[in-house]
Structure 1
């Protein structure tokens, strides 16, 4: 009796776009991202019943879960479509995303929907759009592109253009105000700046400007001073939000209370967005926490490793910057939940509830997957990285 044979859906000789994508994309990175999205949807069912308690107009206990499924579907579709792009396509879409986000951010003081003293969203009926989420991947790719153009020595003022885009983006973020996103974009931009081959003295100047900017922000915005004071003097300030999140994490122990058995989540503000990590830690314990951190670590380490082996300066710098963006945002959110840094309104990538965040993260990961695909000449075996021209 002949054993049954199983054929693969895609042949290596298939020249179709989908088949070529399947064999060239990093399926490990793709799988890790999809796993995070799946965990985000699962945790939405744990957080939604408690989250609706803050809104008496919502009767369905899984209101946020159904919306999360819709957001996740759009985010995954965005990631897959973006991963099909060529490097030129990534540049074009990133530029459109950046220009579009800056344009909408400029209108926020006039038409933005103000929530908790910040005008960061535009109300689109049943949904809200946060343009700054799309400015992040757009700026990182655009900056890497300009730095690469500046290295060619063909008269393109790449550094000046990149800095102009960065300063404009940061200025619009500060106006909202959104200090957390400002610091995230600044840190990632500095990393891209460094990876582009900039002399250390330039980095020192930029670091000095950042310190001056952060100091100015502290004295200009009362809510920043308040958050820093709460972090430094927890006994003297109202720290209800972070205290409840910390209690939820401690209550989870090693394996958690069990699915749907979380108690502390009912008193954690913004539990389905900024503090979704504490919900997962209470119900599934340290085990889930380590799985989440492990997935993020895998994406960053594997992604950076692949990015550093790319031959093209733009692809290398842009991909590394995008993976770093995902990792830094995850680190900030987890650090806030663990009370290691002052609170910031920042989502956990692929996990927190939010349409803008999910779709923008899908776009970010899609760009990174597209840039690290195994194209002819992208990874020359045994070839050293191209000699970088120092930016002047």
Structure 2
């Protein structure tokens, strides 16, 4: 892109202030998501008897295009507009997430989705990034408004936690809770309160184990494979072993045809079989690069809202990627969580783009802070 440093247009200022390395890494993930979609989705479409083997490809290409546009467009916004967007997005996503409890589609015992014309929406995916930015705003205002702002942030978290637990979606709740915990720690909240929050999280996990049969089943099957069905994890591990160092080649994987969620939750296993350990490590490196690059970008930053907002978004992005890859590798109990930009899922990919767009906007180098206030 040939833009002069003297270019004072919106696009010119954006190009010379946005973190182009992070943007390039995110676009690389989008590109690899397209490649993995070509590899994993036709077999899934054929297995479920879809009208076209390209059904998932056509849908996801559409969503990837929207996601790219959303990410770049939001990265153009000034800070005050990011705050407003997050607040409106949080309110809308929270209301729709609450609506799933009464009018949502029930799948595998959970109500997390709303049926819309031509698609199914999971509003809690959009709740994650918006809550991270709203919580950052409230916690940063605690310096001037005192306990009221921090109490408001904690109240919002408890409301979100209650709705997610009611669905139930314990994996999503764990991610949102971890993000908020990280923000509390960075904000300098009293360590006793941070420790109390951590203890409540542990107690909540123990309570979920005894109160939610499906949650208990996943833990038991992880600790003792003989305790139940571990078919997908077993096939995924075989796929990694079959792929070896360099993989069997694009489109040549055979075990993906045996994985019901090869295009979504276990897309990392498909990458392992067809492209091998080398590409899996590359994917892991790109995710790690985005997180570390974002944290390094915050060094020297004085605005607490930017620090807390970026910290929350990066924690969410990195943790979601870790949960997906670790589940496929049987390092943690299985959890239906997508691999950002790579797994199939319209709600997920657009929501991740929303979060990364806000991250790029928050971490831009601003020569004139006044225009963002």
Q: TM-score range by the shorter chain?
A: over 0.9
Q: Residues 106 and 113 of structure 2 are in contact (CA less than 8 Å); yes or no, is this contact kept in structure 1?
A: yes
Q: Residues 310 and 372 of structure 1 are in contact (CA less than 8 Å); yes or no, is this contact kept in structure 2?
A: no
Give me the whole-angstrom Cα distance separating, in 2, the residues matched to 1:255 and 1:309.
Answer: 41
**Correspondence for 1:267:** 258
**Correspondence for 1:218:** 209
**Correspondence for 1:81:** 73
CA positional deviation for 1:376 = 2.2
CA positional deviation for 1:142 = 0.7
**Correspondence for 2:21:** 28
* Long gaps (5+) in structure 1: 1-7, 379-392
CA positional deviation for 1:337 = 0.4
**Correspondence for 2:161:** 170
Give me the whole-angstrom Cα distance separating, in 2, the residues matched to 1:148 and 1:157.
Answer: 12
Change beyond 3 A, Cα 1:236–1:119: closer
Q: 2:187 aligns with which of 189, 196, 201?
A: 196
Partner deviation per Cα, 1:332-381 (whole Å, 9 max, x = no partner): 11100000000111000110101100100001000000000010266xxx
Give me the whole-angstrom Cα distance separating, in 1, the residues matched to 2:170 and 2:300.
Answer: 34
Give me the whole-angstrom Cα distance separating, in 1, the residues matched to 2:267 and 2:323.
Answer: 13
The 5-angstrom pairing of residues 1-392 of structure 1 reads 9-56=2-49, 58-152=50-144, 154-155=145-146, 157-376=148-367
* Long gaps (5+) in structure 2: none
Change beyond 3 A, Cα 1:10–1:156: farther
Give me the whole-angstrom Cα distance separating, in 2, the residues matched to 1:97 and 1:214.
Answer: 28
CA positional deviation for 1:236 = 3.6
**Correspondence for 1:384:** none
Give me the whole-angstrom Cα distance separating, in 2, the residues matched to 1:53 and 1:190.
Answer: 43
The alignment's TM-score, normalised by the length of structure 2, stands at: 0.97
Give me the whole-angstrom Cα distance separating, in 2, the residues matched to 1:49 and 1:155.
Answer: 55
Q: Residues 208 and 216 of structure 2 are in contact (CA less than 8 Å); yes or no, is this contact kept in structure 1?
A: no
Give me the whole-angstrom Cα distance separating, in 2, the residues matched to 1:289 and 1:17.
Answer: 37
Give me the whole-angstrom Cα distance separating, in 1, the residues matched to 2:231 and 2:299.
Answer: 43
Give me the whole-angstrom Cα distance separating, in 2, the residues matched to 1:23 and 1:168.
Answer: 40
Give me the whole-angstrom Cα distance separating, in 2, the residues matched to 1:155 and 1:177.
Answer: 34
The count of aligned residue pairs is: 369
Root mean square deviation of aligned Cα: 1.2
Instruction: Give the secondary structure class of the aligned counterpart of 1:157.
Output: helix
After the TM superposition, list the runs of 4 or more consecutive aligned residues in structure 1 that deviate by more than 2 angstroms: none
CA positional deviation for 1:155 = 4.9
CA positional deviation for 1:308 = 3.4
Instruction: Give the secondary structure class of the aligned counterpart of 1:308.
Output: coil
Larger radius of gyration: 1
Give me the whole-angstrom Cα distance separating, in 2, the residues matched to 1:236 and 1:110.
Answer: 33
- Higher helix residue share: 2
Q: Residues 102 and 131 of structure 1 are in contact (CA less than 8 Å); yes or no, is this contact kept in structure 2?
A: yes
Q: Residues 183 and 308 of structure 2 are in contact (CA less than 8 Å); yes or no, is this contact kept in structure 1?
A: yes
